[in-house]
Amino acid sequence: MNIEFKRLTEVKKSEIIELMNNHLVRRQMPLLRDEFREDDCDKFIEAKERLWAKHRYGPWAFTLNEQFAGWGGLQHEEGEADLALVLHPNYWGIGKILYKKIIDKAFNEMGLKSIIVLLPYTRTRINGLLRLGFKKDRELKIGNEQFIRYRLKIPVKK
């Protein structure tokens, strides 16, 4: 299994559009209200590339054996590194592998002290997140939707 982290500009826009319009993916993304069209995709990619230019990190496109599986990684969110993982349902099984690679980059390559995850209130199945060491940090509103922010601090080395 060959997993690669690429820039969003390196995958076909049609694949990103298909992912963002997948009904199972959309259930997890309350801010994605309307159909995701090509002009939305252009704006999305431009916004993610601006994160790379300004903060020197941003989300990647994930490919598995050259097939687009989804996008995510770390992105700057109000002074924090926010972990996102948006995978096509066909690839939900590789989330843990991607998570480990992202965490390694965050704490070992980038030297971050903590990362956050923002989940909408509708995401009630969070036991896996808690088992990974994330702790509830605070509640906030984004685009008229309620979210809960969870934080993972760098593991203390003994």
- Cα gap 84→76, rounded to integer Å: 11
Low-confidence stretches of the chain (pLDDT beneath 70): 156-158
Q: Does the CA dihedral 3-129-134-56 come out positive or negative?
A: positive
- What are the pLDDT digits (tens) for 51-81? 999 999 999 999 999 999 999 999 998 889 9
Mean pLDDT of the chain: 91
Q: Does the CA dihedral 33-36-42-46 come out positive or negative?
A: positive
- Can you say how many angstroms the Cα of residue 76 is from the centroid of all Cα atoms in its chain? 11
> Which pTM value belongs to this model?
0.89
Smallest CA-to-CA distance from 48 within 86, 3, 21, 18 is with: 86
Neighbours of 85 (CB within 10 A): 18
Task: Delineate the domains of the chain, giving CATH numbers in brackets.
Answer: 3-116 (3.40.630.30)
